[in-house]
Every structure is written in C-alpha cells, then in structure tokens.
Amino acid sequence: MTLAEPVNTDLTTEAGLEAEMLEVGRRARAAAATLAMAPTAAKDKALLAAAQAIRDSTAAILEANAADVADATAKGQRASLVDRLILTPDRLEDVAAGLETIAALPDPIGSVLAEWTRPNGLKFERRRTPLGVIGIIFESRPNVTADAGGLCLKSGNAAILRGGSESFRSSTAIVDCLHQGLHATGLPEDAIQAVPTRDRAAVGHMLRMPDFIDVIVPRGGKSLIERVQTEARMPVFAHLEGLCHVYVDAGADPEKAVAIAVNAKMRRTSVCGAAETLLIDRAIAPTLLPRIASALQDAGCTLRGDDAARAVYQDMQVATDADWTTEYLDAILSIAVVDGVPGAIDHINRNGSHHTDSIVTENADAAERFLNEVDSAIVLHNASTQYADGAEFGMGAEIGISTGRMHARGPVGTEQLTSFKYVVRGTGQTRP
Amino acid sequence: MTLAEPVNTDLTTEAGLEAEMLEVGRRARAAAATLAMAPTAAKDKALLAAAQAIRDSTAAILEANAADVADATAKGQRASLVDRLILTPDRLEDVAAGLETIAALPDPIGSVLAEWTRPNGLKFERRRTPLGVIGIIFESRPNVTADAGGLCLKSGNAAILRGGSESFRSSTAIVDCLHQGLHATGLPEDAIQAVPTRDRAAVGHMLRMPDFIDVIVPRGGKSLIERVQTEARMPVFAHLEGLCHVYVDAGADPEKAVAIAVNAKMRRTSVCGAAETLLIDRAIAPTLLPRIASALQDAGCTLRGDDAARAVYQDMQVATDADWTTEYLDAILSIAVVDGVPGAIDHINRNGSHHTDSIVTENADAAERFLNEVDSAIVLHNASTQYADGAEFGMGAEIGISTGRMHARGPVGTEQLTSFKYVVRGTGQTRP
C-alpha cells in the first residue's frame, strides 16, 4: 500500500478545500470497504505497531506539540485549553498503552447477535458489521486522535479526524504513527485520515458529505454540538454536556449521601460525569443538607442554593434559574430542595441533559421509580455519577458519552460503532 | 382523559399551521412520557379495543374512504394510487386483525438486554426504553395508519402520523378508532395523532420540530425520502427503494435458480423486496440463462439484458445504464452477466440500495463471500428476496424496511422502535 498522492489543490480557496475534502471522503470510503473485511489479527497488529511507533517517535511528537503549545500560549488561549493540549512523556505513554488496550478488546465485527430458524426452514442470523466511515470532530486534545482512530480501526470503520486547530501539529504527528501501524500490516493508510488543514471551514464540508461520512461524532462545547446537529446531512452521535444530578432521598443513608455528593462533584470537576446540581428531599433537608453542604465546602466547593436550601443552610450563594441548566465543569454546585422522588424526576427531566443521574436512598421503591422514570442514558442508585465512563462500564475505551437516544446511548465504545445485517440461509425457499 | 381542545388557529395560514403543528408536538411529548411508563396490559387492551372499534365502525370508515376514492378518481390520480387507497370490508378486517397481532407480540419495553457486575460491586443493566415521539410520513395507504400507530403504541412511543393527502378522510376515521381504544384504557389519546390538515406544508414543519419528534420514518417515493434526508433536523429511519438482486452463481442448482428468480421477480412486483436485476455468472450464462429467461417470460416478465446476456438469449430488450439503478416495481427485469462472485458483489454494492440481495449456489465458499461482502440490510443464500418482510422474519409486523445503517436496519418492528438506558445499582460506591 503506497501513500496516495495529495490532490493538487490550493486549500486556501473554498473550491480547493472542498475538492480536497471530497477526496479525503472518497479515500475513506474505499478504505472502509477493505477494513470491513480485515481479519481481527491484522487490525490488532496495526494497533500494536502504532503504539510502538508512538513510543519510537516520542521526541518528534513532543517537538510538534511544543510548537502547538507555544502558538496557543502566544495567542493568549485559556489555561484550560493549553493544559489539555500539552503532551508529556507520561501522557504519550498513556496514549500508546491506550492503543494496546484497544487491541486487547474483543473484535465486535462478525459476532452473531441473534439467530433463529423459521418454520419454513429459513435460518436467520443478525451479524455485526461496521458502520462505514466515521467523522469525528473534537477539541484540541491530541490524545483523542489516537483513541478515536484506534476505536474506529478496531470496529472496522474508516475514520476522518478533525481535531482542534491548536493541536494540528501534534495530531498530525500522532496520525503519522497510526499510519505506520497500518502500513506495517498491509491495511490502507486511508483508514485513518486527519483533515489536512487547520481551516475551520473544513468542518462545514464534512457535514455536507453524506455520501462519504456515515455518522458524525462531535465532541466539544455546546455551540459546536448545536451547529453539527443543525447542519449535518448525516446521523450524529450527539455528545451534549453532562448536566448530572445527585438526588438525596428522605430514605438516604446519611454517610452514603455525603460521600456520593462529594465524590460526584469534586473527584474531578472537569469531566462530563461530574454532578452540577444536588437535589434534596424536603423531608430530610433540615437534618441532612447542612452536613452535606459543609462537607462539600470543606472539599473546596462553592454552593448556590434555592430559597428552601438557603433556609436550612445560609452559607451559600443565591441560585438563579440559569444555574439549573449550567454545566459549571468547576468546583461549583447548585442545590435545590424538591418534593420527594416525583419532584426530583420532574426537575431532572426538565433541566438535565439526559446524561447521568443518581439517587441515594435505602428505599427500594423510591430507587426503582427514579431508575425507571429519569430519562437519562445512565441512571444510578447509591453510586457516584463519576462512574459515567466507558472503562468503568467495562467497555475498555470510549469516544465519549452519547446523550441521544438513537443507535448509541451512553458510552460509545467499539460495539456502539457498529451496525448489523441479516444473513438468511435457505435451501431453495420461494415465498408462497 | 378528555380530548384536548384544538388550538384556535387558521390552518390555511403559514403561522397558523406552524402553531398547530407545534401544539401537536407538545401534546405528543406529554403523551410519550405517560406512554413510556404504561403497563403492557394497558397497551394491549387499547390495541384490542381499537381493533374492535374498527370492526364496529366499518360502515363509517368505508363511507369516508369512498369519499377519498371519489376525489382521487375525479382528480385523475394513477390507478395504482387509487388501488392502494381503496378499503373493502376484507381489507378493514385485515387492519383490525393486524392490531390484534401487535397486541399479541411481546412488549419490548423494560426487557433487559444485558447485565453484568464489575469487580467494584456495581451491577449494570442495559434496559429497553421507548424512543419517545415518532413521526411517520407515508403514502396514501389507510391501513398504514393503524399499523404504524399500533406499533408505536406497543413500543411505548407517541406517534404523529402524516398520511398521503388523498387518504385524509380514511386515515382520520381510523385514527378515531385508535383514540377509542386509548380512551377505553385511560391512556392519553394524544399518543396517536394524525396531522390535522391535508396541506403538504405540514411535512416541512414536522421536519423542523426536533424538540418534539425524536425520529422520522419516511415511507414513499425517492423524492420524499431525499427531501426528508436533506431537511430533517432529527434522525431519519430511511426507507430507500428496494433495488434487489438475485445472483445466479456457476455453482447454482438450476432448478433452484429458476424457481428463485421467478419468485423474487414475479410473486408480487410492487413490493420493495421484489428483485429488479438478475445477475448471472459468465461461466453458466450460456447454459442456464436461456432457461431462466424463458421461465420469466412465461410468467409474464419483460427482460432487458446487457450485451453478454443478449448474446446467449436474444429475445430481450437492450438494457441501458439507467436500468441498473431503476426500481421498476413492475413485471420488468434487467439482466447482467458478471464475472463470478466478485463481479456480483461489485455490481450490487455499486448499483443497489443496500436493501435485500440473494445468491443462488451450492458452493459454500461462494455463498459465504457473497453474504459477507454484499453491503445490504438483508443477504440471502438460496432463498427468494421476497422474504424481505418483518412478518417473514418472525417480527410480527413492521413499519417498513430501513436501508440505513444507523439504529434500525432491515425490517422495522417494535424492537427497532426502542432505545435503551443503563441502570447501575451500587451500595454507596464512589470513584477513586
């Protein structure tokens, strides 16, 4: 497999960029057909070879990353963006190990999901297949380049990766390593392509290529997701924000309530599974809220409460309506008093993002009602919302957490990146 | 449950129509929340009561239908459209029996798709849930009103039905019966709503209501499907045309080849699973094609062949390139000679609609390669493509055959109209 020659286009013109993106799509489509039939051993060998290439190229990747970081710093980018952008030898080792983890996962492709025989003798089989070409649009986190490319490869899909423009050099260096892995195995390098320009207009072209991209996975801020959902001409695995709730029921064990509330908010505040709102049952608020609130403050959390919450614990800011729909991703928590399980369900279904919500209670009936009626991808009983993570589910790795109800819901790992087909075997049957 | 008052709007104005459609959406969303929690017994009782209401209202439905048919005839509509539109006592009995069949199906909601426990003691469960609100846009076939409404109800979803304008009175009369069934059980009548106008502009409004419609299922001609795929702001279960193929391999049993080719084309020519193209292996064409071709002609089929086909059997029309991508839905078949299984796979993946394709062969290796590499929702070995039907799969009933790869592929029955959620049970776990 030789590297295809780049199209002779000027990417600074609109027409040139469009032609180049269509060419990227055509190559991805061709690679996907090969990849769909690739044996497990070839895919795994490519993943292991890519991991080794990343280790062997550490110096070159870190050099590319240093240039990205210098540019981002010079442009005055936010500290949190620069922090996500920075690669270190340790972070790069995690990237390589992540590819090895993906190689060790079972291959979803070809597995039989169901089989049955009809009275007329026809044997039916529902068999996993790849989706085809997956377009992934993500923020400036170079490690996502390897995770997303690796998950697509393992699940037999071609990937078109469009990372944040600030990480362009770092992502390109990592994609080079993925190509070395593919090359070493005889798989098409076009199976994993990075968009060859920093130009944000490339995103618009991706969204208008339904013939070449079967599904778009957007990761990033609210405005990106909304733009993708509005403009995309193909299905979207939406990753909305994580407006996660912990509801402390009157039947809660106080120790568990304190531990889960503090962990759900403060273990890591920047992850999508971090709690943003604490709901507490009116019946227990006077006795339990002060204890939970002071534990959160001891852990460094700022609190914003509604009137009823502030009536039983005065040392908190005033929550406004906007607080119920704000993903802080910071050490801030909004607190509302609700009327039992029905009040909690109503608050969550009205204000949440259908991501991850937890109830703390020893009352089995209350727990079942909450688990049934809260309309979220992940609902938990007596456990922290921070378990919203593909690895914690046992999926090995994930591209993100889908908040949509279509196709993939919750953590998106290799199985969620597949479709299926019906294979029907007969002995000459014709339909009467 | 009382009937909600209609919004006081003038549906002949654009603003009035939009307000009315948004109100339909709001009611559907509210009904969906109730329906998602409805017990199986209540849903089944509503379906059985609706079936009885249809039997009891036969005279009124046939009267409404006669008015629809008279209008369509006066307007000079095609005979095939008028034929689909006509209801008879027998067809109406089939509609009622269809609702009883749906009632007898297992309830997909709440069933556990997978469960596992992690080393930290967290118990995971993946549990079926409804999708929410399903919008269905279909041709002027009044029976689809009951099938689609019934399937959505059984799977816990609210339905917004938009049938062809020619069947407006018939559909409205059938929806009245569905409402009687819902009413008799205390379920919200808004669970099944028909768009309250014939105005085609209503379709455009449906496609722009992602807050109120979770998925759109378009059924109908190519132009409708393409419009929906372009304009819809929500996911689409695409039902493209059925460009189905029968490939007769060199290893075919001649008897099976003749029987399957004739059945796949001629059993019913108007269904999406009818074959439109016959592919035959170059190695066997001289001996087998004349036999298949004359059997098809004896059954009343017109043949259009490529040069190689006409070289071995001259009594057929000349096929042009357009024939390979034409869904005739008529007693016409295009015939191409291909070079073995690879040639057949290439022809099908290039020209087909990823619907249903069959290989006839006694060669197991050839069959496996075809079943693996043909990228269609349904692939068959030694069986007629006319088995592409939810009932033949054992699903009981279907809204249609999805040719997309996302979420639902192949026959769309009750299970395909569901999503899922993760239910996680702990004993106070916090994430380290």
How much is the pLDDT for A3?
A: 44
How much is the pLDDT for A224?
A: 84
H/E element, B349: helix B340-351
Provide the angle, in degrees to the nearest 10, between the axes of the packed helices A142-154 and A168-185: 30
Segment A56-75 shows an average pLDDT of 96
Does residue B265 share a domain with residue B366? yes
**pLDDT of A2 higher than 50:** no
The C-alpha atoms of residue B420 and residue B115 are separated, in whole angstroms, by: 13
- The verdict on a CB contact (< 8 Å) between A383 and B425 is yes
Segment A54-75 shows an average pLDDT of 96
pLDDT interval class at A9 (50, 70, 90):
low
The C-alpha atoms of residue B192 and residue B128 are separated, in whole angstroms, by: 21
What tokens does A315 get?
Answer: 């040392």
Does residue B176 share a domain with residue B111? yes
The C-alpha atoms of residue A413 and residue B25 are separated, in whole angstroms, by: 33
Q: Which amino acid is present at A236?
A: V
Does residue A43 share a domain with residue A23? yes
For residue B328, what are the CA distances in angstroms to A176, B238, B269, B325? 48, 20, 8, 9
**pLDDT of B150 higher than 60:** yes
**pLDDT of A425 higher than 80:** yes
**pLDDT of B7 higher than 60:** no
Judged on CB neighbours under 10 Å (0-12, 13-18, 19+), B23 is middle
Judged on CB neighbours under 10 Å (0-12, 13-18, 19+), A270 is exposed
User: Nearest Cα to A410, choosing from A220, A157, A239, A269?
Assistant: A239
**pLDDT of A230 higher than 90:** no
Which of A374-383, B18-27, B42-51, B139-148 bottoms out in mean pLDDT, i.e. has the lowest? B139-148
The C-alpha atoms of residue B62 and residue B170 are separated, in whole angstroms, by: 8
- Across-strand partners of A323? none
Q: Where do the H-state alpha helices sit in B120-253?
A: 142-154, 168-185, 201-207, 222-231
Does residue B271 share a domain with residue B220? no
Is A377 an interface residue toward B (CB < 8 Å)? yes
Closest alpha carbon within chain A to B383: A429
Does residue B145 share a domain with residue B220? yes
Q: What is the spatial order of strands in the sheet that B215-218 belongs to?
A: B192-194, B158-162, B133-137, B215-218
Looking at the domain assignment, is residue A9 inside a domain? no
| pLDDT tens track for B56-80 | 999 999 999 999 999 999 999 888 7
- The verdict on a CB contact (< 8 Å) between A407 and B404 is no
With a pLDDT cut of 90, the percent of chain A lying above it is 81
Segment B139-147 shows an average pLDDT of 90
How much is the pLDDT for A4?
A: 46
Give the number of other Cβ atoms within 10 Å of residue B183's Cβ: 18
pLDDT interval class at B2 (50, 70, 90):
very low
Closest alpha carbon within chain A to B262: A430
Q: Which residues contact B266 (CB under 8 A, 6 or more apart)?
A: B296, B299, B300, B301, B331
pLDDT interval class at A15 (50, 70, 90):
confident
Does residue B270 share a domain with residue B145? no
Residue B183 and residue B31 in contact, taking contact as beta carbons nearer than 8 Å: no
- pLDDT, mean over chain B: 94
- The verdict on a CB contact (< 8 Å) between B431 and A392 is yes
Does residue A252 share a domain with residue A233? no
What tokens does B304 get?
Answer: 């259009």
Q: How many domains does chain B have?
A: 2
Is B254 an interface residue toward A (CB < 8 Å)? no
Does residue B223 share a domain with residue B87? yes
- Beta strand A302-305 with B317-318: parallel, antiparallel or unpaired? unpaired
**pLDDT of A14 higher than 90:** no
User: Nearest Cα to B55, choosing from B180, B151, B192?
Assistant: B180
Distance from CA of A48 to the nearest CA of B (A): 26
Looking at the domain assignment, is residue A428 inside a domain? no
Residue B387 has its nearest CB partner, among A122, A259, A393, at A122
Which of A126-135, A236-245, B410-419 bottoms out in mean pLDDT, i.e. has the lowest? A236-245
A-B C-beta contacts closer than 8 Å: 185
* Helix, strand or coil, per DSSP, at residue A309: helix
Distance of CA B318 to the CA centre of its chain: 33
Q: Which amino acid is present at B420?
A: F
Segment A11-27 shows an average pLDDT of 90
Looking at the domain assignment, is residue A6 inside a domain? no
Does residue B280 share a domain with residue B214? no
CATH number of the CATH domain containing B115: 3.40.605.10
User: Nearest Cα to A21, choosing from A210, A223, A234?
Assistant: A210
Residue A168 and residue A68 in contact, taking contact as beta carbons nearer than 8 Å: yes
SS (H, E, C) A56-77: HCHHHHHHHHHHHHHHHHHCCC
Residue B409 has its nearest CB partner, among A124, A420, A424, at A420
The C-alpha atoms of residue B425 and residue B405 are separated, in whole angstroms, by: 32
Residue A137 and residue A153 in contact, taking contact as beta carbons nearer than 8 Å: no
Judged on CB neighbours under 10 Å (0-12, 13-18, 19+), A8 is exposed
Residue A251 and residue A230 in contact, taking contact as beta carbons nearer than 8 Å: no
How much is the pLDDT for B3?
A: 45
Looking at the domain assignment, is residue B402 inside a domain? no
Task: Map tokens 């054992």 to a residue.
Answer: B394
Which of A23-27, A77-81, A416-420, B101-105 bottoms out in mean pLDDT, i.e. has the lowest? A77-81
How much is the pLDDT for B172?
A: 95
The C-alpha atoms of residue B432 and residue B430 are separated, in whole angstroms, by: 6
In terms of residue numbers, what domain contains B263? 244-390
What tokens does B333 get?
Answer: 């078949």
Does residue B217 share a domain with residue B328? no
How much is the pLDDT for B8?
A: 54
The C-alpha atoms of residue A143 and residue A148 are separated, in whole angstroms, by: 9
Q: Within 13 Å of residue B170, how many CA atoms lie on the same side as its CB? A: 31
Residues of chain B by 3-state class (helix, strand, coil), percent to 5: 45, 20, 35
- The verdict on a CB contact (< 8 Å) between B124 and A421 is no
Gyration radius (Cα) of chain B, Å: 24
Q: Which residues of B touch A422 (CB under 8 A)?
A: 377-379, 393, 409-410
- The verdict on a CB contact (< 8 Å) between A124 and B393 is yes
The C-alpha atoms of residue A191 and residue A133 are separated, in whole angstroms, by: 9
Q: What is the DSSP letter of A132?
A: S
Q: Which residues of B touch A259 (CB under 8 A)?
A: 428, 430
Residue B177 and residue B189 in contact, taking contact as beta carbons nearer than 8 Å: no
B residues 52-111 lying closer than 8 A (beta carbon) to A:
none
Q: Within 13 Å of residue B331, how many CA atoms lie on the same side as its CB? A: 12
Looking at the domain assignment, is residue A51 inside a domain? yes
The C-alpha atoms of residue B373 and residue B368 are separated, in whole angstroms, by: 8
Looking at the domain assignment, is residue B429 inside a domain? no
Q: Which residues of B touch A413 (CB under 8 A)?
A: none
The C-alpha atoms of residue A257 and residue A361 are separated, in whole angstroms, by: 8
- pLDDT, mean over chain A: 94
User: Nearest Cα to B175, choosing from B103, B105, B99, B100?
Assistant: B99
* Helix, strand or coil, per DSSP, at residue A275: strand
Segment B170-187 shows an average pLDDT of 97
Residue B169 and residue B178 in contact, taking contact as beta carbons nearer than 8 Å: no
How much is the pLDDT for A339?
A: 98
| pLDDT tens track for A137-150 | 998 889 899 999 99
- The verdict on a CB contact (< 8 Å) between A426 and B380 is yes
The C-alpha atoms of residue B329 and residue B333 are separated, in whole angstroms, by: 10
By residue count, chain A amounts to 432
Does residue B284 share a domain with residue B141? no
**pLDDT of B6 higher than 60:** no
- The verdict on a CB contact (< 8 Å) between A380 and B259 is no
ipTM of the complex: 0.92
| pLDDT tens track for A99-148 | 999 999 999 999 999 999 999 999 999 999 999 999 999 988 898 999 99
How much is the pLDDT for A13?
A: 84
How much is the pLDDT for B9?
A: 64
Segment B355-366 shows an average pLDDT of 98
The C-alpha atoms of residue A213 and residue A278 are separated, in whole angstroms, by: 40
The C-alpha atoms of residue B171 and residue B159 are separated, in whole angstroms, by: 14
The C-alpha atoms of residue B312 and residue B298 are separated, in whole angstroms, by: 18
Looking at the domain assignment, is residue A163 inside a domain? yes
Which of A170-184, A401-415, B118-132, B218-232 bottoms out in mean pLDDT, i.e. has the lowest? B218-232
The C-alpha atoms of residue B279 and residue B249 are separated, in whole angstroms, by: 8
CATH number of the CATH domain containing A301: 3.40.309.10
- The verdict on a CB contact (< 8 Å) between B407 and A406 is yes
User: Nearest Cα to B406, choosing from B224, B241, B216?
Assistant: B216
Segment B277-306 shows an average pLDDT of 98
Judged on CB neighbours under 10 Å (0-12, 13-18, 19+), A160 is buried
For residue A36, what are the CA distances in angstroms to A100, B359, B370, B409? 21, 20, 14, 17
Does residue B61 share a domain with residue B106? yes
**pLDDT of B313 higher than 60:** yes
Looking at the domain assignment, is residue B1 inside a domain? no
Segment B329-336 shows an average pLDDT of 96
- Across-strand partners of B162? B137
Distance from CA of B160 to the nearest CA of A (A): 18
Q: Is the dihedral of CA B397, B402, B408, B409 positive or negative?
A: positive
- The verdict on a CB contact (< 8 Å) between A419 and B406 is yes
Q: Is the dihedral of CA B74, B77, B83, B86 positive or negative?
A: negative
User: Nearest Cα to A285, choosing from A315, A259, A254?
Assistant: A254
Segment B202-230 shows an average pLDDT of 89
The C-alpha atoms of residue B333 and residue B267 are separated, in whole angstroms, by: 13
A residues 269-308 lying closer than 8 A (beta carbon) to B:
none
